[in-house]
Structure 1
Amino acid sequence: MMLRSCYRCLGRRGGGDGLMWHTDLKPHASGDYSIAVVQANSSLEDQSQVFTSPYATYVGVYDGHGGPEASRFVNRHLFPYLHKFATEQGGLSADVIKKAFHATEEEFCLLVKRALPLQPQIASVGSCCLVGAISNDVLYVANLGDSRAVLGRKVFEDSKSKVAAERLSTDHNVGDEDVRREVEALHPDDSHIVVYTRGVWRIKGIIQVSRSIGDVYLKKPEFYRDPVFQQFGNPIPLKRPAMTAEPSILTRQLRPQDLFLIFASDGLWEQLSDETAVEIVFKNPRAGIAKRLVRAALNEAAKKREMRYNDIKKIEKGIRRHFHDDITVVVIFLDHNKGPSHGRHKHNAIGCINAPTDIYSLSADDEEEVMLHPVP
């Protein structure tokens, strides 16, 4: 049963860092999971959620830009759409996931249209969107933008058990040459569709990601030509949409050597390689592993400024964005071929956890709130 709303439960602040929140370990149908978030922006633009049932596990990581509105919208609407279409079509599939992404995009566009006269900036708000779903030992990974899913897979070298990193998602970022060529091929008559500015490649000199939910003014001519929006921002001459909400989707049968999955916003991957992240998970205890990954990333961010993490965690939100991005990490452990007694409580568990909407304002009462609303 899918839930209309997910509420954070049993999470806590992170060991002296008032802008970190984490849940050390919770059960899902085929293992355990861990989640952690650290806030850097004035408003937390990363949103995330994990839904568990006896039959499926869903993970969502939504990295907003231009403001938190789009990522918060996706956090409320995408999972219910997934449930609706999966129910209508008799189960999860790549087509169900695409329909859920498209429905979420269309509903957000309607919201933007209604809000534009009073909030013209809403047309320039967007969110990356990374979703993982496990059902019947099949994994689906759907992605818009540059959040990333990485698999830790057991391998043997010299008779020793080791771990290999396998990237499961595509980074839709024009910093990648293949993505840049893809965008340029769609705009053969616009030599400035991708521009190198402020040290990176950007679409129209504005944005690095080529796919998202939102960013409506770069997708629909009626928005970027609207006089209200043109008063808010510079009009962008476009002959056709510069971005899309079409997700890339990977489908994979899970195998016994597949150990765990890391879903994270690009705030993590800016600091840690895929290989470093899977090594950390492989070599450390499960409990608190997502928090450990976040701290490893923050240590790397501190080193780049010749600082320590202890110095960074004293910096307030907003200013802290100059040192690192918002970071969200969800680690999903995959336990295979366990006996029926293993995790019997897990297979009966239905639950959903949202990371806090904004960590800075999180209260103790919020942390303990658990309110599950079934979708009719």
Structure 2
Amino acid sequence: MLSWLARMAWACWKPVRRYARMSKDNNSSNRTSNDDDDFDSSLADSLIWCRDLHKHSLGEYSFAIVQANEVIEDQSQVETAPNATFVGVYDGHGGPDASRYICDHLFLHLVRHARENGTISEDELRSAFSATEEGFLTLVRRSWGIKPLIAAIGSCCLVGVIWRGTLYVANLGDSRAVIGSVGRNNEIIAEQLTRDHNASMEEVRQELKSRHPDDSHIVVMKHGVWRIKGIIQVSRSIGDAYLKRPEFCLDPSFPKFHLPEPIRRPVLTAEPSICARVLQPNDKFIIFASDGLWEHMTNQEAAEIVHNNPRQGIARRLLKSALNVAARKREMRYDDLKKVEKGIRRFFHDDITVVVIFIDHELLSKTQSVPEISVRGFMDTVGPSNFSLLQGMT
């Protein structure tokens, strides 16, 4: 199946490639290497959704997404209230079921636990992740008989919450949160707040081997990439039930997800890495993004783009900068990449979600006139936020 798709992508790519080279040759004398040319291009990318600048409790935020898959697997949300902000980036794999489920349930679980305990903390975040995992596995159990491949659907999960001047970040998988802080010489310093749970990292491979000392195939190099059980790169996720519960083991009719023998213990985990940070005056913004962004730029490159450009549309600018890099890797221009349809586009880049949260410290001691709204990325749905259930918790 994959080889057939690859041949189809190559067939579609060849004429685009010829056109890209012709366009490059015909326009080389009039162009520079500045990505701003593509950012301001009159030819829009029909697969990009964005909200260029909106208010949150401590400033403003910018939100952008590009679709690559036939059905978008990235789901995301920003929830705002006068005294709190929530960001969720959910990078699905195997299908959109898990990422959609997280988008519908995780924030609600967090609000419920926060209301019961009178605060938001690392414990409430951990409980929200656990409840979301259990809820999705229950859905898998109910659906497995008629839709067995739901057992192979999962999602990375990156969440950020700003509450009472503290930033909480919880993460499963390889989406990433990066904070930009100003240094002594007014330079921007990028600091990664999350840990990548990906088998490409030596520390992750060692962690897996220590948890599974009796399994010599817990991590396998396949086609030049380290994969867990030769199948998946991320070591933590919501879902992926067949790698967590023996009851969901898939038979040989699904060779991509079939394990030669049932698992003895969970291969993946849904235990998030969580950090808390009291925001300091030199902390200026946080970038939350799925791994599709970080595949094409470093933490520092992303932070400098945010620091050196206007806030308006900055998430879209980051996204387009990554797409410029993706295009150059295939010896083409971004204007030509825009013409590649969803589905085929996945051979050039992943679905990418970017949320940039700006921090205006003078607002810390003030109650903002920020509406309690929920914005769902790409689906372009806006409605009331369940943050309203926390009224009175200040």
SS of 1:18 mapped into structure 2: coil
Contact 2:67–2:351 (8 Å) recurs in 1: yes
Which residue in the other structure is 1:6 paired with? none
Contact 1:123–1:217 (8 Å) recurs in 2: yes
SS of 2:285 mapped into structure 1: strand
Matches of 2:244 and 2:152, distance apart in 1: 10
Contact 2:78–2:375 (8 Å) recurs in 1: yes
1:285 to 306, 310, 314: 310
User: Do the aligned partners of residues 179 and 69 (structure 1) sit closer, same or farther apart at CA in structure 2, a change above 3 Å counting?
Assistant: same
Greater strand share, structure number: 1
Paired amino acid for 1:352: S
If asked which structure has higher relative contact order (CA below 8 Å, sep 6+), I would say 1
Contact 2:50–2:378 (8 Å) recurs in 1: no
- Is 1:235 matched up with 2:238? no
Which residue in the other structure is 2:145 paired with? 117
User: Where does structure 1 differ by over 4 angstroms across 4 or more consecutive aligned residues?
Assistant: 373-376
- Is 1:85 matched up with 2:110? no
**C-alpha displacement at 1:337, in angstroms?**
2.1
2:384 to 347, 369, 372: 372
Matches of 1:338 and 1:57, distance apart in 2: 13
- Is 1:318 matched up with 2:330? no
SS of 1:276 mapped into structure 2: helix
Which residue in the other structure is 2:85 paired with? 57
Matches within 5 A, 1:121-270: 121-157=149-185, 161-224=186-249, 229=251, 231-233=253-255, 234-237=258-261, 238-270=263-295
Contact 1:216–1:223 (8 Å) recurs in 2: yes
Matches of 1:373 and 1:28, distance apart in 2: 12
- In the TM superposition, what whole-angstrom CA distance separates every residue of 1:47-86 from its partner, at most 9, and x where no partner exists? 1100011111000000000111100110000000000000
Could you tell me the percent identity over the aligned residues?
56
Paired amino acid for 1:355: G
The farther-off stretch of 331-340 and 282-291 is: 331-340
User: Do the aligned partners of residues 204 and 17 (structure 1) sit closer, same or farther apart at CA in structure 2, a change above 3 Å counting?
Assistant: same
Which residue in the other structure is 2:330 paired with? 305
Which residue in the other structure is 2:12 paired with? none
SS of 1:337 mapped into structure 2: helix
**C-alpha displacement at 1:372, in angstroms?**
2.6
Q: How many residues align?
A: 344
- Is 1:355 matched up with 2:383? no
**C-alpha displacement at 1:248, in angstroms?**
0.3
Matches of 2:382 and 2:344, distance apart in 1: 32
Paired amino acid for 2:213: P
Contact 1:219–1:243 (8 Å) recurs in 2: yes
Contact 1:262–1:331 (8 Å) recurs in 2: yes
- Is 1:25 matched up with 2:37? no
* Larger Rg over CA atoms: 2
Matches of 2:308 and 2:326, distance apart in 1: 22
Paired amino acid for 1:142: A
Matches of 2:342 and 2:187, distance apart in 1: 38
Quote the RMSD (CA, aligned, Å): 1.7
Which residue in the other structure is 2:353 paired with? 328
What runs of 5+ residues in structure 2 fail to find an aligned partner?
Answer: 1-41, 390-394
**C-alpha displacement at 1:156, in angstroms?**
1.9
**C-alpha displacement at 1:230, in angstroms?**
5.1
**C-alpha displacement at 1:325, in angstroms?**
0.5
Which residue in the other structure is 2:122 paired with? 94
TM-score by length of 2: 0.84
